Amino acid sequence: MSDATETARPTAAGMYDYYLGGTAHSPADRAAAEQILQVLPEVSDTAWANRGFLQRAVRKLAVDWGVRQFVDVGAGLPTQRNTHDVLAEVASGCRVVYVDHDPVVVERSAALLADVPDVVSIQGDIRDPAGIFQHPETRRLIDPTAPLGLLMVAVLHFVPDEDDPWGLVERYVAELPSGSFLVLSHSCGDAVPERIRKVAAQIYANTPTPPTDRTKTEVERFFRGLELLPPYAGGKPEVVFSGLWDAEDLAAADSDGSRLVYVGVGRKP
């Protein structure tokens, strides 16, 4: 791929890397992200809160539940202490399959992961779980009989209602053995200030997959048939804002940006 092609258009993954202070983004990613930050400065806080949730959830699954294999759907770029970095800190023998629909992102990811054993990036469509699970690299790394951590972090809001995202998640969960986990985050549909809602609608109006915000009740529907875990010590099993999940200090974790995303973790009986 030529440098011109690489940098011609921004990618959601590259922009996310920029929000997190990474270096794997292109000039186009940086320019697009800066435009959004000028009108929505909360986006950086939201990105950090979402990444923090992923890190805490992955660590908990590995340390407390012994999960050693993960499929990260809609993963973006494997930078800024992503799934495999967290696992390397807490466990050995872990395997990770990153999945993204964008071939540019997959190519960048492959270069970043070239020297990392048992971690791959594949191209896949979230609407095709069979294609993802039957991909040669997934079959090579993932044991279909062992508990799996399925990560669907900040991706399902790009699946519109007409594509039945709840039924789609059920299809993924049906592929998982008992003892597996669903780790999910989703943009809020009932807790977003009107100012942010209007600006976001304008930004994404002309994109191929504009996001669909969903309410807490709608996000909890993704966990049908699963045991939704308490988000923190003493909490009831429910979906919460991203900063609160497994937080040591709930008050300190409750930021403006974190309230733009709902999160939850469910276990398959």
pLDDT of residue 232: 95
Give the pLDDT of residue 1.
38
Please tell me the predicted confidence (pLDDT) of residue 78.
86
Q: What secondary structure, in 3-state letters, does the chain show? A: CCHHHHHCCCCHHHHHHHHCCCCCCCHHHHHHHHHHHHHCCHHHHHHHHHHHHHHHHHHHHHHHHCCCEEEEECCCCCCCCCHHHHHHHHCCCCEEEEEECCHHHHHHHHHHCCCCCCEEEEECCCCCHHHHHCCHHHHHHCCCCCCCEEEEECCHHHCCHHHCHHHHHHHHHHCCCCCCEEEEEEEECCCCCHHHHHHHHHHHCCCCCCCCCECHHHHHHHHCCCEECCCCCCCCCCCEEHHHCCCCCHHHHCCCHHHHEEEEEEECC
Note the pTM of the prediction, 2 decimals. Answer: 0.89
Rama region for 267: left / alpha / beta (φ>0; ψ in -120 to 50; rest):
beta
Q: What is the pLDDT of residue 206?
A: 56
pLDDT of residue 192: 72
Residue 204 is predicted with a pLDDT of: 63
The series of mean pLDDT values per 10 residues for the chain, 269 residues long, is: 52 78 81 83 86 96 98 90 95 97 92 96 97 98 98 95 97 98 94 72 64 93 97 96 94 89 97
Domains, the chain, with CATH or none: 44-192+211-267 (3.40.50.150)
